[in-house]
Amino acid sequence: MEDDHITSHFTRRDLSLLAQSSPKSALRVITLIDYDCFYAQCESVRLGISSDVPLGVQQWEAIIALNYPARANGLARGISVEEARVKCPNLILQHVPTWREGCASWAYRPVSTIMPGTDKAALGPYRLESRKGLELIKSTLPHSPPQKIEKASVDEMYLDLSAQVHSILLQRYPALLDVESSSKDEMLPLPRTSVLNWHADAVFGADAEDDHFDWDDIALNIGSEIVDNIRREIFKHMRYTCSAGIARNKMLAKLASGYNKPNHQTVILRRGTREFLSTHKFTKIRGLGGLLGTQISEKFNTKMVSELLAIPLSQMKEEMGLEVGAWVFNVIRGEEQSEVNPRMHVQSMLSAKTFVPKIVSIDQAAKWLRIFVADLLGRLDELGSENHRISPTIITLNHHIEGRFGPTRSKQTSVPSSTLITEKMLFNLALGLLTQIVAEEKSWPCRSISLRIAGFQSAPKSNTLISSYFMTNDQFTSLGLSKTSKEDSRKQQTVESLPRVY
């Protein structure tokens, strides 16, 4: 046969690294799935509004999400309600639900009644949809090999599909099993596949003439099929469309997910990487969006990946430092090995309110403390699982007399671990902290108060002897939570009730 003398670029070692989902595997399959115009879709599906009607989600006077028909009318995120109505008179606007002073739970309310003075935006419904989507995805994937899913924000997740792709690969190409006896470093035989159905809307590198598909292409092809199926399931059960990128690492997968929105998926093959990256400004690359990206564009006087490719490694290291220089050199070539990390990273949660006008009494503050507690408990429930409840061990009240950037007084106390966490119990702790603050010095009028819970622990739901069932550190870590020490509570990732943070 003509291609008998041609071998794959990959070895049996690469194959076993794939089975282990190792970030070092050259055959890795990573995807990033991102919902299209997420809050807007949540609202149009909830309200039963056709997806081709322009719709925006409003928070106060700003629009925080727009569906694609609205974008087609020239609207962009951040635009004011007033301006949007002028540009797109048939735009449907839905305000996010709110917590309200004196009310026990959040609700969707008539927009004319929503005031920053009495209401606080509640993003619970979007978090809930996000969570449902995640459970659905988990149910579409086999349980073994173990699933590797990282929730990266309220509407996107990374999946490392490597191990699953490995099992499918062996089923479909049993000849690969025959190389079991050969040395780890021996090159695999080349796949005898010249036509592939890509299950994707764009594939970078698929049309290279005279080129043979190798095992990395086949692996990504299988990944694309899995992702296509996931997206169909999400649409079938939840009516949400999403876009996805499929590639050999997180950085390429993320960039590819945004290539062809909405409702499309894009695959980046190794040989298509350069072509794909060249079409982008490097500031779009994960990690190069911020200060580092600005420094690079100033140093090299360009924003294009294609121009940076001309900079030799030695010069990159000289200009950017050894480690950063090497990282940048690799990442603009599509090489990056960060892991898909299933841990949730939630170390603390904050619920806050800025008062306009300022509040003047502990009675007024108490109404907001009730809302903070309800908000935080709702989010704690989302973190728990069917069998485990998550409870905080520390509660902190912050009092900002002039707002969050002015002088702050804080009091903190531990949450008793032996009793059930209830609204009443947390509220009493918070009120106790506020009472102490107020007793110390003049505290009114006050611009802002926030309540933080931290030091999360997990306990089985069905047991009454909760304290004896607290998990060990290791069990805790495997759940994706870490015990907070004073040291790392300073660099906590906070989960505030603001848009965009999970």
Residues that bind ligand CTP in the complex, under the rule CB under 6 A? 34-39, 57, 64-65, 154-155, 261-262, 499-500
C-beta nearest to ligand CTP: residue:
499
In angstroms, the Cα distances linking 286 to 187, 253, 267, 292, 310 are 33, 10, 17, 11, 21
Q: For residue 184, give every residue at least 6 positions away whose Cβ sits within 8 Å of its Cβ, in sequence order, or none.
A: 11, 12, 13, 16
- The option from ligand CTP, Ca ion, none interacting with 355 (CB < 5 to 8 A, set by class) reads none
The answer to whether the CB of 62 falls within 8 A of the CB of 49 is: no
The answer to whether the CB of 336 falls within 8 A of the CB of 251 is: yes
Nearer to ligand CTP by Cβ, of 266 and 391: the residue is 266
The interface region with Ca ion, picked from 154-162, 173-181, 375-383, 415-423 by CB under 5 A, is 154-162
* Min separation Cβ 37 and ligand CTP, Å: 4
Integer Cα distance of 493 and 483 in angstroms: 13
The answer to whether the CB of 350 falls within 8 A of the CB of 451 is: yes
- The option from Ca ion, ligand CTP, none interacting with 39 (CB < 5 to 8 A, set by class) reads ligand CTP
Give CB contacts under 8 A, 24+ apart, made by 224-229: 224/198, 224/199, 224/200, 224/265, 224/267, 225/199, 226/31, 226/141, 226/161, 226/164, 226/165, 227/31, 227/33, 227/159, 227/161, 227/199, 227/265, 228/199, 228/200, 228/265, 229/140
Exposed / middle / buried, residue 485 (Cβ in 10 Å: 0-12, 13-18, 19+): exposed
* Min separation Cβ 372 and ligand CTP, Å: 20
3-class SS at 109? coil
Nearer to ligand CTP by Cβ, of 155 and 375: the residue is 155
Q: For residue 468, give every residue at least 6 positions away whose Cβ sits within 8 Å of its Cβ, in sequence order, or none.
A: none
Nearer to ligand CTP by Cβ, of 37 and 234: the residue is 37
- The option from Ca ion, ligand CTP, none interacting with 415 (CB < 5 to 8 A, set by class) reads none
The answer to whether the CB of 27 falls within 8 A of the CB of 15 is: yes
Q: Rule CB under 5 A: is residue 34 a binding residue for Ca ion? A: yes
The terminus-to-terminus CA distance of the chain in angstroms comes to 55
The strand pairing partners of 336, in sequence order, are none
* Min separation Cβ 54 and ligand CTP, Å: 14
Nearer to Ca ion by Cβ, of 34 and 217: the residue is 34
* Min separation Cβ 157 and ligand CTP, Å: 12
Sign of the CA dihedral running 33, 36, 37, 40: negative
* Min separation Cβ 122 and ligand CTP, Å: 13
Give me the helix-helix angle, 362-383 and 423-440, nearest 10°: 140
Angle, vertex CA 98, rays to CA 127 and CA 124, nearest 5: 10
Token digits of residue 333: 């070539």
Work out which of 14, 43, 119, 156 binds Ca ion, going by CB under 5 A: 156
* Min separation Cβ 360 and ligand CTP, Å: 31
Integer Cα distance of 5 and 1 in angstroms: 8
* Min separation Cβ 250 and ligand CTP, Å: 16
- Tokens 């978090």 belong to 127
Integer Cα distance of 15 and 4 in angstroms: 20
Nearer to ligand CTP by Cβ, of 121 and 430: the residue is 121
Token digits of residue 373: 């507690």
* Min separation Cβ 222 and ligand CTP, Å: 26
Angle, vertex CA 93, rays to CA 90 and CA 97, nearest 5: 165
Nearer to ligand CTP by Cβ, of 227 and 466: the residue is 227
Integer Cα distance of 369 and 328 in angstroms: 46
Report the Cα 345 to chain-centroid distance in Å. 11
Q: Are strands 446-454 and 394-400 parallel, antiparallel or unpaired?
A: antiparallel
- The option from Ca ion, ligand CTP, none interacting with 403 (CB < 5 to 8 A, set by class) reads none
Sign of the CA dihedral running 364, 370, 375, 379: positive
Nearer to ligand CTP by Cβ, of 19 and 84: the residue is 84
- The option from ligand CTP, Ca ion, none interacting with 64 (CB < 5 to 8 A, set by class) reads ligand CTP
Nearer to ligand CTP by Cβ, of 38 and 158: the residue is 38
- The option from ligand CTP, Ca ion, none interacting with 154 (CB < 5 to 8 A, set by class) reads ligand CTP
* Min separation Cβ 430 and ligand CTP, Å: 27
Nearer to ligand CTP by Cβ, of 129 and 336: the residue is 129
Q: How many residues bind Ca ion (CB under 5 A)?
A: 5
- The option from Ca ion, ligand CTP, none interacting with 271 (CB < 5 to 8 A, set by class) reads none
Q: Rule CB under 5 A: is residue 150 a binding residue for Ca ion? A: no
Q: Rule CB under 5 A: is residue 43 a binding residue for Ca ion? A: no
* Min separation Cβ 386 and ligand CTP, Å: 27
Nearer to Ca ion by Cβ, of 14 and 155: the residue is 155
Q: Rule CB under 5 A: is residue 155 a binding residue for Ca ion? A: yes
Q: Rule CB under 5 A: is residue 225 a binding residue for Ca ion? A: no
The interface region with Ca ion, picked from 36-44, 114-122, 227-235, 398-406 by CB under 5 A, is 36-44
- The option from ligand CTP, Ca ion, none interacting with 261 (CB < 5 to 8 A, set by class) reads ligand CTP
* Min separation Cβ 407 and Ca ion, Å: 36
* Min separation Cβ 262 and ligand CTP, Å: 6
- The option from ligand CTP, Ca ion, none interacting with 308 (CB < 5 to 8 A, set by class) reads none
* Positions that interact with Ca ion (CB under 5 A): 34-35, 38, 155-156
